[in-house]
């Protein structure tokens, strides 16, 4: 059945995602599919133009029937395969009416996010015609639109048209997902938590090709989101995979000679999901996020790095015969996330064989906290972000206007005494704290 179907699609395309989600929901795996590159203009190839004279993706064909509009393809698949897979149009008239309303209302969300309004403004509007007032107006319109959808999700959680997954979720969700691809617009969708959790596919480009390989001496210049220090390219790839907006990366190796940026891991993203350019460059390694891999590989951090230091973050030190024993000590210590071992050739000799156990915060730690009117900040409700301690007596009481002077381990920004208490609970050496309001 699915063997009679062909889908030509492009990475980073919400219309393509809609059709792919519908095919998955109807258990129509095994269809013929081909990933095409927008950058290489493959969507204007003869193969596409024969199916879609506009040269747009997706291009979908079932037998002799061609459907190039994603909404049309989704409705067609549900109509033709009603009894197969998951039912995507509810029987209840009220839920069915709400489903159709949300489906076509989703086009407005997409229009206000893209089409030259916010996401594509700098690309669609010539530089001489851009105005700050237009940017502000478009952002305000998108913010108002997102608040409207937030209200829908609060009323209709867990799904857009009631208690069951429907074509409303199939068609609107890719538009929300598309916003998540842009690190600079995630502000607008922070309120979609309820609906996003309920949807069945991850919100990063899950339909991209899984590309675990690394490209040595290849650079993906520009489009940086942020950078971290990393000991090797494999670890850098894991950082990219765990970052919500990262789609690919470039790692600066130890043999880099142009400047002192050794062990820099640059996380990157583009609207298409592909690097704008790839250039040869000695001393770097590039690659892609593993978000598209199913299942995602579990991070394995057993690798050790000769002649590499992880400076700072020490909380405990002991002497061990070799790095293997130091690594075992770190693994067995609940507070240890990484270590550095001083071997037999280090100078000065006095600290040889010293094992430094190091700590990395398991709870979200804000870089700075400021008081500012008109803003509300907070933390995720993920339960695993709050450390649980059951082997010591619980002393949760706070003492206002009371200082415990001296014996400081570290000073950190915190939004409240309660949050300061959480940070103290997470740190392996902290047993009490003082918070300066």
Alpha-carbon gap, residue 353 to 360, rounded angstroms: 22
Could you report the per-residue pLDDT of 321-359, keeping only the tens digit for each?
Answer: 999 999 999 988 888 888 999 999 998 888 899 999 988
Residue 118's pLDDT is what? 62
More confident residue, 157 or 268: 268
Average pLDDT over residues 222-248: 90
Domain ranges of the chain: 2-80, 105-198, 214-288, 314-358, 380-437
Q: What is the pLDDT of residue 122?
A: 60
Least confident of 161-170, 196-205, 223-232: 196-205
| pLDDT score recorded for residue 181 | 58
pLDDT tens, 127-146?
A: 777 787 887 887 788 778 87
* Plot region of 307 (φ>0 → left; ψ -120 to 50 → alpha; else → beta): left
**Per mean pLDDT, which of 49-53, 366-370, 409-413 is the most reliable?**
49-53
Instruction: Check for a shared fold between 105-198 and 214-288.
Output: no
To the nearest 10°, report the CA torsion of 338, 342, 347, 348: 90
Q: How many percent of the chain have pLDDT more than 90? A: 40
Q: Please provide the CATH number assigned to the domain covering 214-288.
A: 3.50.4.10
What number is the average pLDDT over the span 409-420?
82
Q: Is the pLDDT of residue 202 over 60?
A: no
Q: Whole-angstrom Cα distance, residue 422 to residue 363?
A: 8
* pLDDT at 183 (0 to 100): 42
The whole-number pLDDT of residue 74 equals 96
Burial class of residue 415 (count of CB atoms within 10 Å of its CB; 0-12, 13-18, 19+): middle
Measured CA to CA, the distance from residue 163 to residue 183 in angstroms comes to 30
Given this model, what pLDDT does residue 11 score?
83
Tens digits of residue pLDDT in 181-196: 554 344 334 334 333 3
| Cβ atoms within 10 Å, residue 335 | 17
Query: Class of the 2-80 domain?
Result: alpha beta
Q: Which range has the worst mean pLDDT, 1-10, 193-202, 273-282, 297-306?
A: 193-202
Mean pLDDT of the chain: 81
pLDDT of residue 321: 92
| The CA-based dihedral angle spanning residues 291, 293, 298, 304, taken in that order and rounded to the nearest 10 degrees | -80
CB count within 10 Å of CB 407 equals 8
At 434 the three-state DSSP class reads coil
Please give the pLDDT value at position 107.
Answer: 87
Which pLDDT score is estimated for 216? 95
What DSSP line would sit under 190-234, residue for residue? TT-HHHHHHSSS-SS-TTSPP---EEEEEE--S-EEEEEE-SSHH
Instruction: For 239-275, write each residue's pLDDT tens digit.
Output: 998 887 889 999 999 999 999 999 999 999 887 778 9
Q: Are 318 and 279 in contact (CB under 8 A)?
A: no
Report the chain's C-alpha Rg in angstroms. Answer: 26
pLDDT of residue 157: 57
CATH topology of domain 105-198: Glutathione S-transferase Yfyf (Class Pi); Chain A, domain 2 (1.20.1050)
Sheet holding 32-36, edge to edge: 32-36, 5-10, 59-62, 65-67
Binning pLDDT at 50, 70 and 90, where does residue 297 land? low
């Amino acid at each position: 059945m699915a063997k009679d179907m062909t889908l030509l699609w492009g990475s980073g395309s919400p219309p393509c995602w809609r059709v792919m989600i519908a095919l998955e929901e109807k258990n129509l795996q095994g269809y013929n599919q081909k990933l095409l590159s927008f950058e290489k203009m493959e969507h204007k190839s003869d193969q596409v133009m024969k199916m879609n004279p506009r040269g747009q993706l997706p291009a979908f064909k079932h037998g002799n029937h061609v459907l190039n509009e994603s909404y049309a393809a989704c409705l067609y698949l549900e109509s033709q395969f009603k009894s197969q897979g998951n039912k995507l149009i509810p029987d209840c008239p009220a839920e069915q009416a709400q489903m159709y309303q949300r489906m076509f209302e989703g086009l407005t969300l997409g229009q206000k996010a893209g089409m030259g309004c916010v996401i594509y403004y700098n690309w669609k509007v010539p530089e001489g015609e851009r105005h700050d007032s237009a940017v502000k107006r478009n952002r305000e319109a998108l913010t108002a639109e997102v608040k409207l959808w937030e209200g829908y999700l609060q009323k209709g959680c867990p799904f857009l048209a009631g208690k069951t997954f429907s074509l409303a979720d199939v068609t609107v969700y890719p538009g929300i997902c598309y916003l998540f691809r842009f690190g600079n617009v995630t502000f607008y969708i922070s309120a979609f938590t309820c609906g996003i959790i309920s949807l069945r596919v991850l919100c990063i480009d899950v339909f991209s090709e899984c590309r675990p390989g690394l490209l040595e001496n290849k650079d993906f210049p520009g489009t940086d989101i942020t950078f971290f220090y990393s000991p090797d390219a494999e670890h850098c790839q894991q950082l990219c995979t765990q970052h919500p907006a990262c789609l690919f990366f470039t790692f600066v190796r130890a043999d880099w000679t142009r400047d002192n940026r050794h062990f820099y891991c640059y996380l990157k993203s583009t609207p298409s999901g592909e690097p704008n350019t790839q250039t040869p460059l000695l001393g770097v390694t590039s690659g892609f996020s593993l978000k598209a891999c199913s299942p995602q590989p579990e991070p394995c951090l057993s690798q050790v790095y000769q002649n590499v230091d992880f400076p700072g973050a020490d909380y405990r030190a002991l002497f061990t015969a070799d790095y293997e024993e130091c690594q075992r000590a770190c693994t067995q210590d609940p507070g240890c996330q990484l270590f550095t071992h001083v071997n037999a050739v280090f100078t000065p000799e006095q600290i040889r064989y010293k094992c430094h156990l190091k700590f990395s915060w398991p709870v979200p730690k804000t870089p700075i906290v400021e008081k500012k009117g008109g803003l509300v900040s907070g933390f995720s409700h993920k339960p695993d972000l709050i450390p649980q301690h059951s082997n010591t007596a619980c002393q949760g009481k706070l003492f206002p206007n009371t200082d415990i002077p001296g014996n400081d381990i570290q000073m950190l920004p915190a939004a409240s005494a309660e949050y300061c208490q959480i940070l103290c609970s997470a740190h392996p050496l902290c047993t009490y704290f003082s918070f300066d309001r």
